[in-house]
Amino acid sequence: MSFRATVESMSKIMDDMGITELDLERQFLFGVYRKHIHLSKQQAATVAVSSAPVADAKSATSEPVAGTVSGYALKSPMVGVVYLAPEPGADTFVTVGKQVKSGDTVALVEAMKTFNPIKSDKDGVVKEILVSDGAAVEFDQPLIVIE
């Protein structure tokens, strides 16, 4: 059974049993994959904010983020590892409260040994950073909230 199929079947079991959170871990030849899943009855996929890599989301376009912070979520266009600075020890691309313009690089996502710049798709102020540096991210996972 594929990892995706395992997650989908576990999600259904969780829903049937009323379980709302689950931590998954799978060992691969190249490393360990960890996933924290938080289910919500209000919507099928939610943004869970914590220090660990988390979240599931619905679309690649910006849309309002669920929770207390209003704004739009800039989402990862791919699966990979997110970096908030151009290199170790350097200043981060953005910080909470920083003004960003459309086209500004706000993070990098490493996928298959390639560093892909993640650019803001709108002007605004960074209200929240939803991922930690070096965290594994999923396709469509919210990275940064811009208002």
Residue 13 pLDDT exceeds 50: yes
Q: Does 145 or 15 have the greater pLDDT score?
A: 145
According to CATH, what is the number of the domain 60-146? Answer: 2.40.50.100
Residue 59 pLDDT exceeds 70: no
Domain residue ranges in the chain: 60-146
* Distance between CA atoms of residues 54 and 45, nearest Å: 11
| Residue 122 CB partners (closer than 8 Å, separation 6+) | 62, 72, 102, 146
DSSP character at residue 9: H
**pTM metric for this prediction:** 0.54
